[in-house]
Amino acid sequence: MTLTDLHAMWRIRALEEKVRELRLAGDITGSVHLCIGQEAGPVGVCTELDERDALFATYRGHGWALASGVPPESLLAELLGRSTGINGGRGGSAYFTAPGYGFYGENSIVGAGAPIALGAALAARANGTGGVAVTVFGDGALNQGAVHEALNMAAAFRLPVVFICENNKYSELTPVQAMVGDPELFKRAAAYGMPGRRLDGNDPSVVRAAAAEAIAAARAGEGPTLLEFMTERLVGHYIGDAEHYRPPNEVAEATAREPLVRLRAELAAAGVSKTNLDAAEARARTEIETAAEQGLAAPIADPSTARDHIYA
């Protein structure tokens, strides 16, 4: 429970709100998925990773990239299709990658990051780096065959992988309980032969402690862990989602227990001044606003370079 965590989560919130604004204005194009309400996961996990590690996110990965250290100006420029983007404007919202920061990309194929992470884990073992692969996916992805195979192989070979399921109660537009026989998804870990835990995914301190334990176990050769982060998104599955599937007042109720509201209240109760609490938000918003201005001022990516860096 720190002011640093509050600021880090505000950076993600401010980024995602700016992305939504730019998408609705038409400056960002294509499908965009926001992680508003799910900021505690990336903030808690990424502080436990180092330069040896590799992180694989879903298409809801802007917050994970920012928490990994990707500069907001490079990230926003990428989403805006600018030449100064982290991938020169080629990746956009759902496909950008930043291996220089240990962020090995998003993936629009549900659950596809899990088997790819096994490759990074195998490489780390072969090279003796002590690196750990972390792969993040949603609750619906646990029903994908490729994720099942990845979990099984990681357990069978005791690979250094941490599997993180962000359970935000919906598999895209369908409630989790309508998709599975047992909605406590972490229990599946036992069948694969690995530890599994369900935890409060809206508390960065709880997330950090669980991630630290799982990462340490992976580094020590004890194999993979499945962590289920219970959280809630405060926005639609994608920008433009009418959210007709959500019960009345669900979002309003979730807002009262979302990560930023909770941590601010806890810090205030612990004696942190309103001035310092407000400053954490203000600094984050100023940084993101400046980054957006830089991105909008940068030149649009040259379409003639679209095939650069493509190999077959």
CATH number for the domain spanning 65: value is 3.40.50.970
In a domain, 8, yes or no: yes
Three-class SS state of 58: coil
At residue 212, does pLDDT exceed 80? yes
pTM strictly above 0.85: yes
Alpha carbon 310 to its chain's center: 26
In a domain, 306, yes or no: no
| Segment 85-112, tens digit of pLDDT | 999 999 999 899 999 999 998 988 999 9
- The rounded distance, in Å, linking the Cα atoms of 184 and 177 is 9
Structure tokens at 74: 């490079």
In a domain, 308, yes or no: no
| Count of structural domains, the chain | 1
For residue 59, what are the domain limits? 3-293
At residue 149, does pLDDT exceed 90? yes
In a domain, 304, yes or no: no
The pLDDT-based confidence of 311 (bands split at 50, 70, 90) is confident
State the pairing for strand pair 174-175/170-171: antiparallel
